[in-house]
Amino acid sequence: MNQTPEANIPHITLFGQRNAGKSSLLNAMLNQTVSIVSEKKGTTTDPVKKRMELIPYGPVVFIDTAGIDDIGTLGQLRVDMTKKMMQKTDLALIIIDVLDYDTIYIDQLVLECKKYHTPYKIVFNKIDLLNDDEIILLKKEYEKASFVSTFNPHDMNNLKEVIIKNLKQEKEEPIIGDLLNYNSTVVLVVPIDSEAPKGRIILPQVQVIRDCLDYGIKCHVVRDTELESAINELNKIDLVITDSQAFKKVNQIVPNDIYLTSFSILFARYKGDIDVFIEDVKTLKTLTDNANILIAESCSHNVSHEDIGRYKIPNLINQKMKINPTYHHVMGQDFPSDLSPYDLIIHCGNCMFNKKTMASRIKIAKAYGVPITNYGIVLAYLNGILERSIEILNVII
């Protein structure tokens, strides 16, 4: 893997009315044609994503969207998709055509930003169409906004600087680097079963290995089948991290004086809100046959009989809790905006989406009063080893 995973870099989204010049701005900032531009309203229909090295900040992802004022049945679907992008947006650019705008839409977008605590910047575009006096007047009215013309490279450079200033300089948080001392030893358990992708290991495992290297933690990677012999060979092990699916088996192998956790529990802390997840998993105790459980997965993949979200978790819930609830499955962007039909949401580890997406989804769930937890926590809970697996995190259940 040569690039920082997309899920770990800031997402900057261009929102605005149709024809405001969103796509033109994106192309101008990138110096290439990424998004189609035309004088016709509604040119961009689906979100267009493009990664860029924003010097001196680093890599970012830009997302161009369809106009927020689109009309008709199809238009409404496009608006819904545009609004979905807000969930993953770290910085919103609200693009306004200086000559043709409706404050209703600006207010609506600002409200959406506030809903998800998304920082935003208002950008008036096409100032080449105004005279100096008109520009001065507009600047007075919108003191904090930016004023640009897509056709002016100087404006584009300034806008990039404004973007960099408005991006939160997030401190890269460790995955385990803050839990273990320098020179500690961890063993990673990576089962190579039919679910394991061919010829590679999955992103959370790669990221944990990198985190170990960053923090001077020695890390051994083994399959579940060689774990016992690895434990016997190694003098001192501080922590074993396993794939959640092998949790039960690994729990029996790892002696009690060695900490044990899973990749998904570490990611629940790194990418989600582990306190919420641990609290809300207890909802499982209160559910009946009438319950509706939403299982949400961020990456799209084909489903096999071993699939954790489709089969393993539902089967385990039915078996351990002795209930037969209804399961609903969504993938990728298709997280519902109305969560009222659900009694519990079980989310995947979210390695493919950024932190903001998970934070937004937790916010929506809380707004609907629907408990939300994740795969790793559910598996640990149902296998009776949640307590053990979070000992290392110093979280109190």
Ligand X SMILES: Nc1nc2c(ncn2[C@@H]2O[C@H](COP(=O)(O)OP(=O)(O)OP(=O)(O)O)[C@@H](O)[C@H]2O)c(=O)[nH]1
Binding site for ligand X (CB under 6 A): 16, 18-24, 37-39, 41-44, 66-67, 125-126, 128-129, 149-151
How does strand 11-16 pair with strand 344-347? unpaired
Which of the residues 28 through 87 are near Mg ion (CB under 5 A)? 43-44
| Binding partner selected for residue 141 from Mg ion, ligand X, none, CB under the kind-specific 5 to 8 Å limit | none
| DSSP code, position 201 | -
- Minimum Å gap between C-beta 205 and ligand X is 39
Picked from Mg ion, ligand X, none, the partner binding residue 41 (CB below 5 to 8 A depending on kind) is: ligand X
Considering the complex, state which of residue 47 and residue 67 has its C-beta at the smaller distance from ligand X. 67
Smallest distance from Mg ion to CB 33, Å: 12
**Which residue, 16 or 314, is less far from ligand X as judged by CB?**
16
- Nearest-approach distance from CB 64 to Mg ion, in angstroms: 6
The whole-angstrom separation of Cα 308 and Cα 379 is 10
Q: Which letter does DSSP use for residue 389 in this model?
A: H
**Closer CB to Mg ion, residue 39 or residue 257?**
39
Do the beta carbons of residue 171 and residue 153 sit within 8 Å? no
Q: By 3-state DSSP, what share of the chain in percent is helix, strand and coil, each rounded to 5?
A: 40, 20, 40
Closer of 156 and 364 to ligand X (Cβ)? 156
Q: Which residue in this structure is represented by tokens 């009215």?
A: 141
Q: In what order do the strands lie in the sheet with 259-262?
A: 218-222, 185-189, 239-242, 259-262
Using the minimum distance from each CB to ligand X, give the nearer residue, 25 or 186.
25
Question: Among residues 23 and 298, whose Cβ is nearest to Mg ion?
Answer: 23
Distance CA 241, CA 225 (A): 14
Tell me how far, at minimum, the Cβ of 210 lies from Mg ion, in Å: 37
Residue 94 vs 358, nearer CB to ligand X: 94
Pick what 309 binds: ligand X, Mg ion, none; C-beta below 5 to 8 Å, kind-dependent.
none
Report the SS3 class of residue 309: helix
**What token pair was written down for 119?**
């920082």
Question: Residue number with the shortest CB distance to Mg ion?
Answer: 44
- Choose the contact partner of 142 out of ligand X, Mg ion, none; CB within 5 to 8 A by kind: none
The entry of ligand X, Mg ion, none near residue 39 (CB within 5 to 8 angstroms by kind) is: ligand X
Question: Of the two residues 44 and 374, which places its CB atom closer to Mg ion in the complex?
Answer: 44
Q: Of 61, 5, 3, 7, nearest to 353 (Cα)? A: 7
Neighbours of 58 (CB within 10 A): 12
Nearer CB in complex with Mg ion: 63/295:
63
Phi-psi region of 175 (alpha: psi -120 to 50; beta: other; left: phi over 0): alpha
Q: Tokens 């101008």 correspond to what residue?
A: 28
Structure tokens at 50: 């493009």
Instruction: Identify what 42 binds: ligand X, Mg ion, none; CB under 5 to 8 Å per kind.
Output: ligand X
The CB-of-379 to Mg ion minimum distance in angstroms stands at: 43
Q: Which stretch binds Mg ion (CB under 5 A): 14-22, 86-94, 286-294, 315-323?
A: 14-22
Q: What is the largest CA-CA distance in the chain?
A: 79
CA 268 remoteness from chain centre:
11
251 interacts with Mg ion by CB under 5 A? no
The Cβ-side half-sphere exposure at 25, using a 13 Å CA radius, reads 32
User: Minimum CB separation from Mg ion for residue 28, in Å?
Assistant: 13
Give the torsion through C-alpha atoms of 131, 14, 118, 91, to 10 deg: -90
Query: What minimum distance in Å lies between the beta carbon of 37 and ligand X?
Result: 4
Which bin fits 55, alpha (ψ -120 to 50), beta or left (φ > 0)?
Answer: beta
Q: Least CB distance from residue 311 to Mg ion, whole Å?
A: 41
Q: Which one of the spans 21-29, 51-59, 83-91, 258-266 is the region binding Mg ion (CB under 5 A)?
A: 21-29
Q: Single out the residue of 13, 17, 23, 262 in contact with Mg ion (rule: CB under 5 A).
A: 23
Q: Please report, as ranges, the residues that interact with Mg ion according to CB under 5 A.
A: 22-23, 43-44
